[in-house]
Amino acid sequence: MGKKSNFTGLSRFVHQAFGDQETTTKKTDESFQHPAKRRKVETGTVVAIHRGAEGLVPHYRSAEEVPEHLQKYFSQRKRYFSLYDQGCLLDEEGWYSVTPERIADQIAERCRCDTVLDAFCGVGGNAIAFAKTCERVIALDTSPVRLALARHNAQIYGVADRIEFILADYISFAESYLSRASGNGKRDIDIVFLSPPWGGISYLTNPQDSPDSDESDVSLVRHPEYSLASVKPIHGADLFHLTRRITPNVAYFLPRHTSLDELSALLPSSDATSGGDDSQQEILEIEEEWMGSKLKALTCYFGGLAAGQEHLF
């Protein structure tokens, strides 16, 4: 997809804009097989303050070690990371916000490209999946602990060398990137993946119905529509419009009961873009992410990521 990007220039911007972070350079791990026709290169990796993550959070090995409020998440640990037993680490927020591995892999397959930006990487579930299908991954988070955990987990999966870990606020990063890119007409970032905070563990009206509750038929559980106004750190619509200034290709990961009216309103009407010709109107594609009988979330694909709109990439 798309023209090969000059990642060296993007790395230079990263180091200039966020140069207070420690930087290391490593060669690509020869044992990891790249997707077909993808080249092996060197990259600078911006890492969090901590070199090792083992002492930052506990690695639970049995349910008896886990705090009661995390018990239901621990039972799903190998859905989050299939290599959990090899030492994957999650902080408390990571336990209830990480994307299950099979869903992350599905999204990453849809997002094959040269350079993808994971705007809210957390403990690295999506960034690891993107590193299997993309040339380079830029992974941002505001927490040095979560960033260190993400890098640790990526090392377990053998893909840390192709992820650029950056301790940064996405809003500040985006504004700095757009200021740098203004006027040169060059796009270094092909795709942005947005999985922002949804408002905490109680984003559902019924706290018992978390993303990992055990209801056998989710169709029996009804919730008020989730509004993009609940997205953090800014209104979800504003977050989207900021991101579209970086690239038209956006994958937006949202709660399963997000308002469809608000999602469709993110794109301009056909009257504004094509003189009323509906055949020229950009569409969004909404993919339901299921695991067994449970609907976990929605992934909304915009631009060239939506089926039938590859020419917009």
pLDDT score recorded for residue 226 = 95
Distance CA 18, CA 312 (A): 31
Query: What letter would DSSP give residue 228?
Result: G
pLDDT digits (tens, 9 = 90+) for 75-89: 999 999 999 999 999
Q: What is the mean pLDDT of the chain?
A: 82
pLDDT score recorded for residue 280 = 74
What mean pLDDT is predicted for residues 231-244? 97
Which amino acid, 100? P
| Per-residue pLDDT band at 109 (split at 50, 70, 90) | very high
pTM, whole model, 2 decimals? 0.80
pLDDT digits (tens, 9 = 90+) for 20-47: 444 333 333 333 333 333 333 333 334 4
Residue with the bigger pLDDT between 218 and 299: it is 299
198 closest CA partner among 70, 98, 284? 98
**Domain 63-200+225-267+282-312: homologous superfamily in CATH:** Vaccinia Virus protein VP39 (3.40.50.150)
Which amino acid, 98? V
What mean pLDDT is predicted for residues 172-180? 94
Distance CA 310, CA 313 (A): 6
| Per-residue pLDDT band at 275 (split at 50, 70, 90) | low
Residue with the bigger pLDDT between 224 and 220: it is 224
pLDDT score recorded for residue 150 = 98
Distance CA 292, CA 142 (A): 33
